[in-house]
Amino acid sequence: MRGNHEKRDYDEADLEVRAPKDHAVGVPAVAVSLTRSFESMGVVRSAETLRELNQAHGFDCMSCAWPDPEPGERSFAEFCENGAKAVAEEGTRTRATPDFFARHSIADLDSHTEHWLGRQGRITHPMVKWPGATHYVPIGWDRASALIGAQLNALERPDQAIFYTSGRASNEAAFTYQLFARAFGTNNLPDCSNMCHESTSIALAESIGIGKASVTLDDVYAAKLIVLQGQNPGTNHPRMLTALEQAKRNGAKILTINPLREAGLVRFKNPQAARGVIGSGTDLSDLHLPIAINGDLALLQAFGALLVEWDALDHEFLDRYTSGFEQWQAHVREIDWEVVTTTTGLSRRRITEAARMLRDSEATVFCWAMGLTQHRNSVATIKEVTNIALAQGNIGKPGAGLLPVRGHSNVQGDRTMGIWERVPQHFLDAIEREFGFDPPRENGCDTVDSIRSMRDGRAQFFLGLGGNFVQAAPDTAVTTSALRKTKMTVHISTKLNRSHLVCGETALILPTKGRTEQDIQAGGAQYISVEDSTCSVHASRGPLTPASPHLESEVGIITRIAEATLGDRYGIDWRGMRADYATIRAHISRVVPGCEGYEVNVRRPGGFVLPHPPRDSRTFETGSGRAEFAVSPIEVLQVPPGHVILQTFRSHDQFNTTIYGLSDRYRGIEGGRRVVFLHRDDIAALGFDDGDMVNLVTRWDGDTCVRRAPSFRIVEYAIPRGCAAAYYPETNPLVPLDSTAIGSNCPTSKSIVVALEPVGAEHSPAPEELGQSDLGADWSHKSVPQLHHLS
Ligand SMILES: Nc1nc2c(c(=O)[nH]1)N[C@H]1C(S)=C(S)[C@@H](COP(=O)(O)OP(=O)(O)OC[C@H]3O[C@@H](n4cnc5c(=O)[nH]c(N)nc54)[C@H](O)[C@@H]3O)O[C@H]1N2
Ligand SMILES: Nc1nc2c(c(=O)[nH]1)N[C@H]1C(S)=C(S)[C@@H](COP(=O)(O)OP(=O)(O)OC[C@H]3O[C@@H](n4cnc5c(=O)[nH]c(N)nc54)[C@H](O)[C@@H]3O)O[C@H]1N2
Ligand code: SF4
Ligand SMILES: [Mo]
């Protein structure tokens, strides 16, 4: 198995560990973002581009899905450091030309790090790797599309093809893409959401009838209490801190629940407020609970027990709108506090203090992200968040509600447009009415199932609309060999990444225009549209000249492939859609619920907000017509002696698999990425010292295979006992493909049971050496992890 450790573009020996920061943003952040932009884009181009970022007439930030303020309330620079980095990454003047691909074989490229690959700049021409070839060579658009169409038509069945999407694709591209896959005959439409907020979508759909946030930005400003659980906004949704600061000024309290005291959670200096730049910043968190990894379900049930005990409940809401409250109440009343305190690593006193904040708030907003979604029991945990919100009537009233904070800038819009392997039948009925063909009705493959399907030889074709599948997916070695078994891999991409080097028999890279770039088609200049975390949909227009005259837009590429594959099957006018995206939006307005009048609404400054029945009218479109309480047993992840629970997270200098640089400034890590954060006492208990080099090792279900990620430096850190943290994607080789969340199939990237082994001691340990035979698979309701101690 290869790991990034073999790839030497920088020396991990240069890694420096400094004291972590206690606050986020401020002057250094602005300086960093501008330096990066100037370096890669030049001064004039940077200034012109950043001026358009997140403005009503400009383009939508392609980094995260945090919403924009109302048009009249936006500042002149409505972006953050990481938004500026994302723009610089796309707007770079560096180019990966056919000449570059002639100089570097695929094997040579594969010897470099992900960071180096990204630094080679924008891909300028469509490229192909022919069967048996060592290099990519240029290919024309017509020939590339014909090749793909021929391969698709040569498959025995449509479900031998996988159509993956990453959440940066526009609504127009996403709608066209799902239409193409379904007209071709498959619902195999996995997306990055399957590895991200899938647990949220499943849990919320079952509990409240819709898998999306029930709040607007105004609710955040009006909240009395904001709970931030399993999320690191200072890095991943930086402008959320501005909203939280505003909420605090309006009187809100903030409760943070995270194994780490992430810089942004504790203190914040707003670079756009004079006070933020010179002053000492805002103390964001009123109470921080340093919870042990995966302790959230137990904590939330303890909150429930206390709210019930204190009768801090909204009885009128419960009677009128919910079902299952009695059973839930009986369940939480029976809570075992010893299980709660050992599982959470928190004392009963601290938990009670936090529950009082809930009790005393008339309007609470609950926010969460990957710290809650990527565990085996994530669906149950998110239903428990919902239970707590329902108990106090915190849904469908001002200043209150559920706010799953989405990742990719348009991941939510892609789902709305039908990128979903399990799309509801009414959506398929609408496709049938609009286009006159009967789309496939059985569910398709999600991400994990797609990997299984390629691994087992069932799927033979992979098309990625953006993303970096091989690095984002779990079990890197398995995913790599699965893709290599296919007849054809195709990637629609802006920049080079590892997935381009893990080739099917034939492989293509189709270079696309990005969000920052102008898109001129036969029908004139086009714009696209996107949806943020709060269901707000608006237009986006790129200001820059495209990186190369040979680029096509995503819609352009998809419609070309569709034409080459389907010809005029069903009479779908792919060419017309390409010429003028208003044609696509007209289809959207007739197919997608809530999108009537799309063309007009989306062009309004600030766009429009999609309907959300619980938010708008406390209507719950569940089986019972009421919001459903869920009863979940507390399961405890067993950690055998000598092991810790590892969470894999993002540094401050990356966007998912795109590594911008080697500075995780807030956590004090500079010049490298192969670090594992551990509690001082665990380092000693495991027989190591701070600074030692170790391999991380997982076993799964008595597999004969030992998964190993080599060469991590131990860094002593303020993290609860029994817990560890290291960066994604270097740790993805450790996540077993079959280790997924119950009900959502989301990989368990936030709770991997690992052992540490000294570098140089690599051997395949016998099961007894690792403690027991089925590590990581062992759950029970009774016992508790041995490494957790009360804080
Ligand atoms: N700059 C930048 N922005 C991004 C991204 C990026 O890579 N870079 N990625 C985008 C995407 S796709 C996404 S999904 C989001 C991700 O946004 P986040 O969810 O904030 O991302 P992670 O870095 O995975 O951080 C997870 C947080 O959960 C905490 N955590 C881990 N395990 C647990 C647990 O068991 N319980 C609790 N309570 N907390 C836990 C971690 O300590 C960490 O603070 O960000 C989006 N925005
Ligand atoms: N261990 C572990 N694994 C994880 C996670 C974790 O926390 N831990 N998080 C998971 C999550 S939340 C997510 S969302 C997934 C992310 O999975 P993906 O979405 O598949 O990965 P990204 O790194 O966001 O994709 C980056 C690539 O997208 C391409 N790209 C960039 N901009 C554009 C564009 O405008 N158009 C097109 N067509 N291509 C573009 C570039 O070539 C770039 O290399 O990873 C998941 N994997
Ligand atoms: S908060 Fe997110 S969407 Fe907003 S500018 Fe920053 S990265 Fe972009
Ligand atoms: Mo994500």
Residues 403 and 204 sit within 8 Å (Cβ to Cβ):
no
The answer to whether residue 625 sits within a structural domain is: no
Q: Which residue type sits at 417?
A: M
Mean pLDDT of the chain: 91
Whether the per-residue pLDDT at 784 is higher than 60: the answer is: no
59 lies in the same domain as 160:
no
The answer to whether residue 420 sits within a structural domain is: yes
The answer to whether residue 714 sits within a structural domain is: yes
Is the minimum distance from the CB of 196 to ligand 1 under 6 angstroms?
A: yes
Whether the per-residue pLDDT at 776 is higher than 60: the answer is: no
Q: Which of 67, 91, 115 is the last residue of a domain?
A: 91
The answer to whether residue 207 sits within a structural domain is: yes
Per-residue pLDDT of 450-465, as tens digits, reads 999 999 999 999 999 9
698 lies in the same domain as 744:
yes
CA-60 nearest atom, ligand 3: 3
421 lies in the same domain as 559:
yes
Q: How many angstroms separate the CA atoms of 473 and 734, rounded?
A: 11
Whether the per-residue pLDDT at 556 is higher than 50: the answer is: yes
In the prediction, which pLDDT does 770 show? 39
Residues 403 and 265 sit within 8 Å (Cβ to Cβ):
no
In the prediction, which pLDDT does 380 show? 98
More confident: 35 or 256: 256
Note the helical H segments in 267-347: 274-278, 296-309, 315-321, 325-333, 337-344
**Mean per-residue pLDDT for 586-598?**
97
Is the minimum distance from the CB of 89 to ligand 1 under 6 angstroms?
A: no
Ligand with the closest atom to the CA of 554? 2
363 lies in the same domain as 433:
no
Q: Which of 71, 91, 111 is the last residue of a domain?
A: 91
Q: How many angstroms separate the CA atoms of 82 and 417, rounded?
A: 27
In the prediction, which pLDDT does 652 show? 95
Ligand 2 atom 36 nearest Cα: 466
In the prediction, which pLDDT does 786 show? 35
Is the minimum distance from the CB of 658 to ligand 2 under 6 angstroms?
A: yes
Of 200, 366, 367, 370, the residue with max ligand 1 atoms within 8 A of its CB, to mutate for a pocket test, comes to 370
pTM for the full model?
Answer: 0.94
- Residue 398: φ, ψ to 5°: -60, 140
In the prediction, which pLDDT does 283 show? 76
Ligand 4 center from residue 600 Cα (angstroms): 30
Q: Which of 36, 61, 91 is the last residue of a domain?
A: 91
User: Which residues approach ligand 3 with their CB closer than 6 A?
Assistant: 54, 61, 63-64, 66, 79-80, 82-83, 237-239
Quote the domain boundaries for residue 704. 634-788
684 lies in the same domain as 770:
yes
566 lies in the same domain as 433:
yes
- Residue 365: φ, ψ to 5°: -105, 130
Of 374, 415, 494, the residue with max ligand 2 atoms within 8 A of its CB, to mutate for a pocket test, comes to 494
236 lies in the same domain as 334:
yes
Is the minimum distance from the CB of 407 to ligand 1 under 6 angstroms?
A: yes
Ligand 3 center from residue 656 Cα (angstroms): 14
In the prediction, which pLDDT does 366 show? 98
Q: How many angstroms separate the CA atoms of 213 and 783, rounded?
A: 35
The region of weakest confidence among 18-27, 204-213, 690-699 is 18-27
Tell me the pairing of strands 669-670 and 16-17. antiparallel
476 falls in which pLDDT band (50, 70, 90)? very high
Per-residue pLDDT of 270-329, as tens digits, reads 666 544 433 456 678 999 999 999 999 999 999 999 999 999 999 999 999 999 999 999
Whether the per-residue pLDDT at 772 is higher than 50: the answer is: no
Structural domain count of the chain: 4
Of 657, 676, 727, 730, the residue with max ligand 2 atoms within 8 A of its CB, to mutate for a pocket test, comes to 657
Ligand 1 center from residue 682 Cα (angstroms): 24
274 lies in the same domain as 338:
yes
Ligand 3 center from residue 729 Cα (angstroms): 21
Is the minimum distance from the CB of 749 to ligand 2 under 6 angstroms?
A: yes
Per-residue pLDDT of 44-95, as tens digits, reads 778 778 888 888 889 999 999 999 988 888 776 778 888 999 999 999 999 9
Provide the sign of the torsion angle of the four alpha carbons 285, 82, 169, 485, taken in this order: negative
**Most confident option among 24-33, 38-47, 324-333:** 324-333
For residue 504, give the CATH number of its domain. 3.40.50.740
**Mean per-residue pLDDT for 193-220?**
98
